[in-house]
């Protein structure tokens, strides 16, 4: 039963155009390989907000997987811009600390997301890792 459910889900993902926004190349490449295995089409991988915006305009992805914290800082403006383009998003925020520091980082991120345009709307999901 589980195999059938996964197979149906994979069929729905086949051909879905995805933009990856991640400044760590090994994570971006791993994500790309995993998504391509289920038939998704990677329109590009960007390590900066400016590259992500260019790729989004050029290739019109349906979904973007975005690391909210790139080398230049927190990319809330990018999230808002992609949302305005109608792109669904999975926003990733990595936390590498003790449990308390991770909890505080999650709380601070949630507070920063509150009141921002794209967050809290149906097209955006946040994944804290």
**Domains assigned to the chain:** 2-128 (3.40.50.2300)
What pLDDT, in 10s, does the model give residues 45-95? 999 999 999 999 999 999 999 998 888 788 889 999 999 999 999 888 765
- Cα–Cα distance for residue pair 20/85, rounded to 1 Å: 16
Determine the pLDDT at residue 92: 84
Q: Does residue 107 or residue 49 have the better pLDDT?
A: 49
| Residue 90 tokens, joined | 């999975």
The pTM assigned to this predicted structure is 0.74
């Amino acid at each position: 039963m589980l195999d059938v459910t996964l197979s149906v889900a994979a069929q729905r993902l086949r051909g879905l155009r995805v933009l990856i926004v991640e400044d760590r190349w090994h994570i971006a490449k791993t994500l790309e390989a995993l998504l391509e295995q289920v038939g998704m089409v990677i329109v590009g991988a960007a390590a900066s907000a400016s590259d992500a915006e260019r790729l989004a305009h050029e290739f019109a992805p349906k979904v973007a997987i975005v690391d909210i914290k790139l080398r230049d800082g927190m990319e809330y403006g990018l999230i808002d811009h992609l949302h305005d383009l109608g792109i669904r998003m999975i926003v990733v925020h990595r936390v590498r600390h003790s449990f308390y520091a991770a909890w505080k980082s999650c709380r601070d991120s949630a507070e920063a997301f509150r009141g921002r345009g794209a967050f809290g709307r149906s097209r955006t999901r946040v994944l804290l890792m």
